[in-house]
């Protein structure tokens, strides 16, 4: 770190490598203050002469702003130089130089005199401002004026310019009196009244600016914008984005503005207060200054790459001077907005003036108005949906009413048909039930007769077999009495036993066959029973009072008691309404 004195924010900043003796010297200066972050000392600018007088002899170099401040105050640099010379041995002895030899100081002085002689009066200079935004001084302004052969080209010529504090105050007041429409900034085309000069201490050629042509400056901004609009219109790009409609429900919003700005807060708050489910994708960008174009283009390219994730793109910034809007008046930004796949809504914080983007996209006056336009689109969509919903409901109610009437008519017709069919079925069931009952009685009578005949046959067979057995027994006993000997008796006894067993087998078989016939007859009788009709889902309705069968709805009356019989039981009911 070298030893250096700078002027910044009305304080003289003292920089030097750590030196204990130098620290003690600085501490003796009035109002001194140490900055631990920058590791520098500073003294109020009102003591700058004392600071310079005490520190220059110790090898401190003077910064540009501090030098000009001393000149403006009338401090003679040469006297300070002599003080320094007295404290240090001269490096160059001019008296011992060969004849015709020039020193740098002499050369610079002569150049200064020649320049001042050639330009005795101030000149109007048209140029573009550069490096002005980096000037932090509250007094003098040091910057550059450049010339470009055409828009977007690199500067082909440049010159250092200085605006002394009085001149700067006059120029800024002139701009303010015009309504604050123009603010000095980088990239602004201006027409300055300036005096060419040569600063001998730095060997630098410079312009001392004293006034501004406000009409030219404002007109240049307008002309530049018009030239870009003509070029974009010739390519058919001007209405490309502006003619795009907003999507029905733009809830996914891409936002380009400066970080932590009022514009960001106003825009996002308006979306939040709407109560809708907005999702905001934010890209922080510079909306003024030397890097504004590069930063805004970067943001536009990002959202172009992610266009499928958003519904609309908003570019907003707060209020400012008319010249601040010119940061958006570049061909590259305008073309990118025109070709952007997302619908672009701009809300630049101005009321009277316009920037280039106001002609290329949907223009709203402020960030709040831009957000409100997006909210209104959602509200409009919802209103349409509610209107459609009401219309659908009305149509549905009308259709339901008509269908209800038609259904009632169909139900009435169906009830009449069903009543008629039921009456027909009931009559048919009655006929069938009667036929089944008669057939069952006839069949049962036949089966009873058959069973009686079988029993008679069994009885006759049994009686016949018994008579035959008795006859054989008598015959055998008679033979037995005639034939002597126990052997014959035994044989005849065995034969008698065989006849008895055979008789029992025949009797059992006959009885079993008769039982099977009886069971079959009983099953046929059960299947033909009228109760089986009820088991198939039919019911029998009778008048509880006289036990008559109800065959028609017309046979019922209010408060009449009925008995409904099913296969598994019956219930007594009461008619409420006919």
Contact 186, 133 (CB under 8 A): yes
Q: Which helix (H) or strand (E) holds 319?
A: none
**What is the average pLDDT value for the chain, to the nearest integer?**
79
How does strand 141-147 pair with strand 123-130?
antiparallel
Helices (H), 43-91: 48-55, 64-72, 77-87
Q: Where does the pLDDT of residue 196 fall: very low under 50, low under 70, confident under 90, or very high at 90 and above? A: very high
Contact 211, 193 (CB under 8 A): yes
Highest mean pLDDT among 460-464, 560-564, 574-578: 560-564
For residue 85, pLDDT beyond 50: no
Exposure string over 431-462, b if 16+ CB within 10 A, otherwise e: eeeeebeeebeeeeeebeeeeeebeeebeeeb
- Classified as helix, coil or strand, 508 is helix
Structure tokens at 563: 């008995």
The pLDDT assigned to 91 comes to 54
Q: List residues bridging with 130 in a β-sheet.
A: 144
Distance CA 332, CA 328 (A): 9
Q: What is the DSSP letter of 244?
A: S
Q: Which of 199, 114, 113, 190 is nearest to 162 (CA)?
A: 199
Contact 219, 228 (CB under 8 A): no
Percent of the chain with pLDDT over 70: 81
- Classified as helix, coil or strand, 104 is helix
Burial of 499 (0-12, 13-18, 19+ CB in 10 A): middle
Structure tokens at 208: 């001392």
Contact 83, 47 (CB under 8 A): no
Q: Tell me which of 177-191, 224-238, 334-348 is least confident.
A: 177-191
The pLDDT assigned to 525 comes to 66
Q: How far is CA 535 from the centre of its chain?
A: 65
pLDDT in tens, 223-280: 676 777 788 888 888 888 888 898 888 999 999 988 878 888 989 998 999 888 899 9
For residue 531, pLDDT beyond 80: no
Q: Which of 334, 344, 318 is nearest to 250 (CA)?
A: 344
For residue 418, pLDDT beyond 90: no
Q: Where does the pLDDT of residue 78 fall: very low under 50, low under 70, confident under 90, or very high at 90 and above? A: low
Q: In what order do the strands lie in the sheet with 33-35?
A: 33-35, 40-44, 11-15, 4-8, 61-62
The crossing angle, in degrees rounded to 10, of helices 48-55 and 64-72 is 120
Q: Where does the pLDDT of residue 221 fall: very low under 50, low under 70, confident under 90, or very high at 90 and above? A: low
For residue 475, pLDDT beyond 80: no
Structure tokens at 569: 């039981």
């Amino acid at each position: 770190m070298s030893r250096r004195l700078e002027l910044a924010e009305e304080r003289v900043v003292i920089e030097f490598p750590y030196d204990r003796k130098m620290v003690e010297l600085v501490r003796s200066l009035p109002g001194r203050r140490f900055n631990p972050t920058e590791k520098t000392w500073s003294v109020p600018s009102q003591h700058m002469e004392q600071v310079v007088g005490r520190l220059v002899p110790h090898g401190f170099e003077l910064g540009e702003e501090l030098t000009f401040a001393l000149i403006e105050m009338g401090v003679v640099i040469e006297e300070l130089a002599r003080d320094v010379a007295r404290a240090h041995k001269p490096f160059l002895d001019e008296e011992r130089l060969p004849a015709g030899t020039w020193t740098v100081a002499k050369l610079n002085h002569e150049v200064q005199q020649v320049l001042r002689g050639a330009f005795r009066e101030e000149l109007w200079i048209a140029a573009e401002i550069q490096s002005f935004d980096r000037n932090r001084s509250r007094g003098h302004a040091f910057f550059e004026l450049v010339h470009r052969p055409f828009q977007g080209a690199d500067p082909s010529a440049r010159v250092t310019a200085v605006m002394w504090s009085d001149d700067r105050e006059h120029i800024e007041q002139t701009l303010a009196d015009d309504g604050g429409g123009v603010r000095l900034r980088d990239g602004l085309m201006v027409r300055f009244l300036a005096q060419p000069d040569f600063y001998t201490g730095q060997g630098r050629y410079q312009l001392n600016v004293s006034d501004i042509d406000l009409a030219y400056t404002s007109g240049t901004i307008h002309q530049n914008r018009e030239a870009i609009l003509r070029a974009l219109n010739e390519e058919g790009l001007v209405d490309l984005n502006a003619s795009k409609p907003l999507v029905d429900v733009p809830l996914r919003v891409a936002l380009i503005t400066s970080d932590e700005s009022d514009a960001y807060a106003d825009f996002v708050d308006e979306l939040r207060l709407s109560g809708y489910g907005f999702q905001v994708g934010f890209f922080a960008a510079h909306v003024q200054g030397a890097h504004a174009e590069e930063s805004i283009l970067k943001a536009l390219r990002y959202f172009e790459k992610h266009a499928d994730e958003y519904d609309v793109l908003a570019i907003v910034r707060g209020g400012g001077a008319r010249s601040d809007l010119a940061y958006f008046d570049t061909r590259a930004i305008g073309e990118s907005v025109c070709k952007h796949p997302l619908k672009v809504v701009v809300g630049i914080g101005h009321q009277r003036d316009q920037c280039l983007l106001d002609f290329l996209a949907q223009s709203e006056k402020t960030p709040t108005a831009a957000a409100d336009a997006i909210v209104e689109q959602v509200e409009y969509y919802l209103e349409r949906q509610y209107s459609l919903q009401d219309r659908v409901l009305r149509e549905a109610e009308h259709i339901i009413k008509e269908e209800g009437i038609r259904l009632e008519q169909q139900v009435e017709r169906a009830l009449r048909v069903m009543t008629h069919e039921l009456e027909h079925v009931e009559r048919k069931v009655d006929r069938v039930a009667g036929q089944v009952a008669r057939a069952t009685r006839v069949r049962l009578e036949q089966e009873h007769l058959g069973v009686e005949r079988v029993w008679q046959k069994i009885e006759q067979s049994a009686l016949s077999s018994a008579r035959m057995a008795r006859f054989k027994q008598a015959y055998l006993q008679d033979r037995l009495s005639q034939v002597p000997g126990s052997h014959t008796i035994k044989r005849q006894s065995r034969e008698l036993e065989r006849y008895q067993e055979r008789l029992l087998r025949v009797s059992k078989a006959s009885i079993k066959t008769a039982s099977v016939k009886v069971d079959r007859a009983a099953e046929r009788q059960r299947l033909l029973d009228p109760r089986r009709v009820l088991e198939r889902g039919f019911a029998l309705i009778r008048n509880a009072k006289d036990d008559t069968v109800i065959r028609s709805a017309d046979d019922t009356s209010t408060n009449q008691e009925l008995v409904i019989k099913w296969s598994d039981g019956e219930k007594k009911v009461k008619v409420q309404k006919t």
